[in-house]
């Protein structure tokens, strides 16, 4: 009887090992397929700027686009940044700038996953953002930076983004680069702006933010030009001040040729797990 039980246990163990190996193979095949798709999207993008997409600490491939934009502007050193909506601080659009030695401030509602109090180059403001307090929160950040406007602003708050962007621009902030999330559900020239709701919590649906065309029309009023959308997922749009337009003559004039459709289900994690110690070192 014991022999039968032992054999059964061995069979079960063998089957589990086989299933685990099959799962690993499937994961590997999926990763290889996805890497091929992402490479294809970059290479075949109508917008040459999208080809620079690459990930360091951004959620997708935004970091590479940011670096190429700043390289063309000659703004890779001694800059300042602001980011509204940073999650736990381990994955966002401005950590790459910290690696360049930039100083900045973050505003968000979550606790950070690392000890930012040791940083001499980052000011974190933990606060739920509304139209009633965004100017006050921004003033706190600007006072820390001792500037009237950061060189780059990123904003991704999963809801009231259009209204917050408008408030910052009306306040007079004029970064060289503005990175914003857009609702890719709406292909240009489609318009959509989520009505302002200070209690909004994103529910994972397509009810958030604003369409790319609606954002373009807002930024145009303040002298900005759309130059890129990230090719990997169609999540973030990059706007630059009009005085830099001569640096982006290779970018298509048509919003539709810059637009990237939603590919949210194809998020991919790169490399090893992000360590809070790495972030603390970057910001020291």
Average pLDDT, the chain: 88
| Architecture of the CATH domain 47-283 | 3-Layer(aba) Sandwich (3.40)
pLDDT value at residue 78: 92
What residues form DSSP beta bridges with 228? 238
Q: Are the CB atoms for 238 and 179 separated by under 8 Å?
A: yes
pLDDT value at residue 181: 97
Q: Are strands 177-181 and 236-241 parallel, antiparallel or unpaired?
A: antiparallel
Q: Which of 216, 211, 268 is nearest to 61 (CA)?
A: 268
Q: Mean pLDDT across the stretch 235-262? A: 96
Q: Mean pLDDT across the stretch 10-17? A: 57
Q: Are the CB atoms for 108 and 91 separated by under 8 Å?
A: no
Percent of the chain with pLDDT over 90: 72
Percent of the chain with pLDDT over 70: 81
Q: Are the CB atoms for 105 and 178 separated by under 8 Å?
A: no
Q: Residue 100 and residue 67: Cα distance in Å, rounded?
A: 10
Q: What is the pLDDT of residues 15-59, one digit of tens each?
A: 556 555 555 555 555 555 556 666 666 667 889 999 999 999 999
Residue 269 has φ and ψ, to the nearest 5°, of -90, 135
Q: What is the pLDDT of residues 78-107, one digit of tens each?
A: 999 999 999 999 999 999 999 999 999 999
pLDDT value at residue 144: 97
pLDDT band at 135 (very low <50, low <70, confident <90, very high): very high
pLDDT band at 263 (very low <50, low <70, confident <90, very high): confident
The CA-based dihedral angle spanning residues 197, 61, 58, 136, taken in that order and rounded to the nearest 10 degrees: -40
The CA-based dihedral angle spanning residues 21, 23, 26, 28, taken in that order and rounded to the nearest 10 degrees: -70
Q: What is the pLDDT of residues 197-226, one digit of tens each?
A: 999 999 888 899 999 999 999 999 999 999
Query: What tokens does 46 get?
Result: 């109508």
Q: Which of 204, 109, 218, 207 is nearest to 163 (CA)?
A: 218
- 83: three-class secondary structure by DSSP: strand
How is the chain split into domains, by residue range? 1-44, 47-283
Question: Which helix (H) or strand (E) is 52 found in, with range?
Answer: none
């Amino acid at each position: 009887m014991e022999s039968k039980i032992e054999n059964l246990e061995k069979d079960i163990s063998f089957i589990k090992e086989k299933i685990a190996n099959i799962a690993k193979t499937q994961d590997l095949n999926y990763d290889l397929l996805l890497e091929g798709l992402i490479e294809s999207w970059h290479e075949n993008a109508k917008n040459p700027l999208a080809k620079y997409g690459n990930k360091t600490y951004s959620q997708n491939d935004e970091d590479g686009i940011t670096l190429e934009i700043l390289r063309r502007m000659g703004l890779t050193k001694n800059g300042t940044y602001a980011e509204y909506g940073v999650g736990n601080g381990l994955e966002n659009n401005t950590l790459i700038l910290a690696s360049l030695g930039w100083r900045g401030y973050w505003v968000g509602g979550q606790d950070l996953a690392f000890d930012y109090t040791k940083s001499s180059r980052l000011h974190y403001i933990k606060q739920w953002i509304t139209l009633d307090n965004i100017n006050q929160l921004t003033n706190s950040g600007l006072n820390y930076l001792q500037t009237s406007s950061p060189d780059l602003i990123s904003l991704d708050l999963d809801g009231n983004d259009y209204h917050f962007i408008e408030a910052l621009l009306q306040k007079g902030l004029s970064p060289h680069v503005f990175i914003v999330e857009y609702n890719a559900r709406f292909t240009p020239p489609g318009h959509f702006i989520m009505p302002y709701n200070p209690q909004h919590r994103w529910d994972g649906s397509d009810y958030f933010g604003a369409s790319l065309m609606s954002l373009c029309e807002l930024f145009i009023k303040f002298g900005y030009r759309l130059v890129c959308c990230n090719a990997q997922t169609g999540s973030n749009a990059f706007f630059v001040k009009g005085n830099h337009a001569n640096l982006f003559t290779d970018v298509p004039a048509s919003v539709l040729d810059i637009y990237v459709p939603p590919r949210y289900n194809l998020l991919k994690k790169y490399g090893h797990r992000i360590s809070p110690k790495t972030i603390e070192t970057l910001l020291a």
